[in-house]
Chains A and B, each alone.
Chain A
Amino acid sequence: MRYDLCCVWVLLSFLLSGCEKEINLESMRPDPKLVLNCLAIQGDTLSVELSRTWFYADNNVQDIFVSGADVKLYVNDVFRESLAETVVKYENPDVDAVLYKSSSYMPAAGDRIRLTASREGFKTIEAVTEVPRPCSVSDFEFEQESVRDTSMWWDDPYIHLSQKNIFSFTLHDEPGEENYYLIYFRRGDAWGKKDSLRYSWFSFSPDYKSEPVFAVQHSALDQIFGYDNIGGYNGLAFSDELFDGRSYRFKIPWEISRSYTLSTDYNPYRYRCYLYSVSRSYYNYMKTLNELRESGFVGDLADIGFAEPVRIYSNVVGGTGVLGGGCLEFREFTSE
Chain B
Amino acid sequence: MLREWFTCVFVCLSCFLMSEKLSAEVNGVDEVRTVTLNMRNVSLKEILTEIEKQAGVTFSYESSLLKAFQKTSFKVEEAALDDCLAQLFAGYPIVYKRTGNVVILKRKPKQVTISGFVRDKTSAESLVGASVYEMSSLSGVAANTYGFFSLSLPVPPGDEGVPVRLQVSYIGYESCSFTIPVLKHDTVLVIGLRPNAAIGEVLVTASETTRQTVRNTQMGTLEVNQATIRATPTLLGEADIIRTLQLTPGVSAGTEGISGLYVRGGNADENLFLIDGNPVYQVNHIGGFFSAFNHEAIKGMNFFKAGFPARYGGRLSSVVDVHTKEGNMKEFHGSASLGLVSGNLNLEGPIWKDRTSFNIALRRTWLDVLTAPALAIVNKKNKKHGDRINIRYAFHDLNVRVDHRFSDRSRMYLSLYNGNDVLKVESEDFSYSEYVTPFSNTSNAYMRWGNLVASAGWTYAFSNKLFGKLSGFYTRYRSKVSYREEDISGKEGDPGYQYSLDETTNVTGITDFGIRTSFDYRPMAAHHIRFGGDYLIHYFRPEYHRMKALDNRLPDSMQIARTFSDDKLWAHELAAYAEDDWLISDAFRLNAGLRFSLFNIDDRTYMGLEPRVSLRWLLSPDISLKASYSRMNQYVHLISNSFMDLPTDSWVPVTRKLDPLVSDQVSIGGYYNWNRLLDFSVEGYYKRMDNLLEYKEGYSLIPSSVSWENKMASGEGWAYGLECMVRKQTGKMTGWVGYALAWADRRFDEINEGRRYPSRYDNRHKLNIVVMHKLSQKVELSAAWTYSSGNYTTLSLENYYPGDHLHKPGEAPSWGSGTRLDEDYYDGRNNYQLPAYHRLDLGINVYHPKKRGRMGIWNISIYNVYSRMNPILVYKGEVKRIAGAGDYENPNVVYRNAFKSIGIFPIIPSVSYTYKF
Contact = CB atoms under 8 A, between A and B. Distances in A.
A216 B648 contact: no
Contacts of A23: 874, 898-901
Contact of B899 (A54, A57, A276, A304): A57
Contact of A30 (B798, B867, B881): B798
A41 B812 contact: no
Contacts of A33: 798, 800, 825
Interface stretch (B406-414, B524-532, B556-564): B556-564
Contacts of B562: 212
Contacts of A313: 697-698
Given A25-B832, A37-B802, A92-B813, 12 more contacts: A19-B904, A51-B800, A51-B801, A55-B798, A56-B798, A56-B899, A58-B897, A90-B813, A234-B804, A235-B807, A253-B558, A304-B873
* A23, A284, A310 interface centre (most CB from chain B within 10 Å): A23
10 contacts: A28-B797, A49-B803, A54-B798, A56-B897, A90-B812, A91-B814, A92-B812, A218-B703, A291-B698, A305-B902
B425 interface: yes
Contact of B799 (A54, A215, A218): A54
Interface stretch (A115-123, A130-138, A321-329): A321-329
Contacts of A55: 797-798
A15 B558 contact: no
B572 to A, nearest CB: 30
Contacts of A29: 797
Given A33-B825, A219-B648, A224-B445, A17 B506 contact: no
B813 A97 contact: yes
Nearest to A242: B705
Nearest to B821: A93
Interface string A291-322: 11100101001111111111111000000111
Interface string A13-50: 01101111111110011101101011101001000010
A97 B803 CA distance: 12
Contact of B798 (A19, A32, A302): A32
B642 interface: yes
A64 interface: yes
A241 B644 contact: no
A233 B808 CA distance: 12
Given A19-B903, A220-B506, A328-B809, A308 B794 contact: yes
A53 B481 contact: no
A208 to B, nearest CB: 12
Interface in B215-263: 255
Nearest to B825: A53
A220 B825 CA distance: 30
A258 to B, nearest CB: 20
Contact of B806 (A25, A35, A39): A39
B91 interface: no
B866 interface: yes
Interface of A: 14-15, 17-25, 28-30, 32-33, 35, 37-39, 41, 44, 49, 51-59, 64, 90-93, 97, 166, 182, 184, 186, 201, 203, 210, 212-213, 215-224, 228, 233-235, 239, 241-242, 251, 253, 274, 276, 278, 282, 284-289, 291-293, 296, 298, 301-313, 320-322, 324, 326, 328
Contacts of B906: 15, 17, 19
Nearest to A313: B698
A219 B545 contact: yes
Contacts of A302: 642
Contact of A306 (B255, B481, B823, B899): B255
Nearest to B804: A234
B397 to A, nearest CB: 23
A321 B901 contact: no
Interface string B528-570: 0000000000000000010101000010011010101000000
A307 B902 CA distance: 15
Contact of A312 (B703, B797, B802, B812): B802
Chain A interface helix/strand/loop/mixed? mixed
A210 B551 CA distance: 11
Nearest to A23: B899
Interface in B668-713: 695, 697-698, 700-706
Contact of A311 (B545, B803, B826): B826
Contacts of B901: 20-21, 23
Contacts of B798: 30, 32-33, 53-56
B897 A59 contact: yes
Interface string B876-917: 110101000000000000001111111110110000000000
Contacts of A287: 698
B641 A307 contact: yes
B871 interface: yes
A22 B879 contact: yes
Nearest to B444: A224
A44 B806 CA distance: 12
B807 A182 contact: yes
B558 A251 contact: yes
A60 to B, nearest CB: 9
B867 A301 contact: no
B867 A44 contact: no
Contacts of A18: 869
B483 interface: yes
Contacts of A241: 705-706
B705 A216 contact: yes
B805 A307 contact: no
Given A301-B644, A309-B796, A20 B902 contact: yes
Interface string B628-666: 000000000000011110111000000000000000000
A14 B807 contact: no
B482 interface: yes
5 pairs of A and B residues whose beta carbons are closest in the complex: A37-B803, A305-B873, A39-B806, A14-B867, A223-B483
B558 to A, nearest CB: 6
A210 B558 contact: yes
A322 B698 CA distance: 15
Nearest to B753: A317
Contacts of B857: none
A220 B906 CA distance: 33
Contacts of B646: 221
B618 interface: no
Contacts of A93: 815, 818, 821
Contacts of B641: 298, 307-308
A58 B897 CA distance: 7
Contacts of A312: 802, 823-824
A316 to B, nearest CB: 10
B51 interface: no
B418 interface: no
Nearest to B906: A15
Given A19-B869, A220-B504, A311 B697 contact: yes
Contact of A303 (B800, B823, B825, B875): B875
A85 to B, nearest CB: 17
B545 A216 contact: yes
Nearest to A240: B705
Interface in B697-737: 697-698, 700-706
Contact of B813 (A91, A222, A286): A91
B706 A309 contact: no
Contact of A216 (B483, B547, B826, B897): B547
Interface in B831-866: 832, 866
Contacts of A56: 796-799, 876, 897, 899
Given A21-B900, A210-B549, A321 B803 contact: yes
A219 B869 contact: no
Nearest to A314: B825
Nearest to A276: B807
Interface in B184-206: none
A223 B545 CA distance: 13
Given A219-B545, A219-B702, A37 B897 contact: no
B693 to A, nearest CB: 14
Contacts of B702: 217-219, 221-222, 296, 298
